[in-house]
Structure 1
Amino acid sequence: MNRELKIVVSSGYSFNGQLSTALADGAAGFIPKPFSALEMLKAVREVLDR
């Protein structure tokens, strides 16, 4: 996995332990479903600004 690639994970289900594993493995953020286009843009912008 490219450690410089910024990944935002999305799910309609409760991730519980899977979310922390995804974040520990390099995912840069999480956005729960359902989400609007504006919410997705904000999540992506937040990750890119880090």
Structure 2
Amino acid sequence: MGDKRNYSADQVKALQGSIKIEHTLAKIGAQQLRKLLEDEDYVKNFRCL
């Protein structure tokens, strides 16, 4: 039903890079929004929603 691969999962893992990609701006924005929602009684403006 599919192609047979002539390499193992360990071989694929060995080829992966060691640098972890992070989406910093999105992460910071999400943290700020979460803090607002947790700390404030209400958030007065959600212009984008």
TM-score, structure 1 normalization: 0.30
Which structure would you say has the larger Rg? Answer: 2
Q: Which has the higher contact order (CA 8 A, sep 6+)?
A: 1
Structure showing the higher strand proportion among its residues: 1
Structure showing the higher helix proportion among its residues: 2
